Amino acid sequence: MSADQRKGISWTRIVAEGFAIVVSILLAFGIDAWWNGRQQRAAELEALRAIHQEFQTNRELLRTVEEMHSEALMASRALLALAEIPRTELPAPDSIEHLLQNARNNWTFDPLDGALNSLLNAGELGLVSSLDLRVALAAWPDLVQELNEDEVIQRNEIQERFTPYLGERIPLRGLFRAEEGPAASQTDYAELIRGIQFMNLLEVRRRIAQNILGELRSVHRTLDEIINLIEQEVG
């Protein structure tokens, strides 16, 4: 065998061995990436299921809060309308007390957020593969915060202005009695209802409730979107 032949065989072996090493390395990287991908997907699904459970509960909470704010808005509108009718046509005092109590409703939306906060605080939002879902989850805390800020304005308005105004003019026990159901009342509400300051307070209350309901609808749309997107991911 000539020197040239020996040299050719040597290079062939070297190339073959080198190729085998490269393939082995690529295969090892591929297996490692595949395994990491499986672990990441498992972690994503676990997080999404926990968030989904929270948001299902939040949807029920949100419906209750929406109902209470709707009642407050309707009560404010009804009380404002009473100022336009003759004294002799006013409803019974217990009916007016019921409206006043509903106008004083001060509900807030306090959603469960442990699972989502764990994901966000750990900086693991990138685990979520769906871009639309990542965007919706990232926007959720700010959306709730904006709603809560208006709910604080509402609470302060009721506690610092509306209720003290009522307390100076009518027995508040009638409003608390309204919470327990219909009862006979001797209070004359005609003067209260026709008072300019009372009507102004009611108008502020009405506008706040209307604004909050608008924000609640936006929150509800985002909540439903998040639930739907999660269900698409987890199957």
Task: Encode pLDDT of 125-181 as tens digits.
Answer: 988 999 999 999 999 999 999 999 999 999 999 999 999 999 998 888 767 755 555
- Structural domain that includes position 112: 3-234
Instruction: State the pLDDT at residue 34.
Output: 46
End-to-end CA distance of the chain: 67
Residue 83: burial class (beta carbons within 10 Å; 0-12, 13-18, 19+): middle
Number of domains in the chain: 1
* pLDDT higher than 70, residue 3: no
Contact 47, 119 (CB under 8 A): yes
Phi, psi of 214 (to 5 degrees): -60, -40
Instruction: State the pLDDT at residue 31.
Output: 56
pLDDT, one tens digit per residue, over 152-164 is: 999 999 999 999 9
- Does the global pTM surpass 0.85? no
Token pair recorded at residue 175: 């409003």
Q: Which helix (H) or strand (E) holds 155?
A: helix 131-157
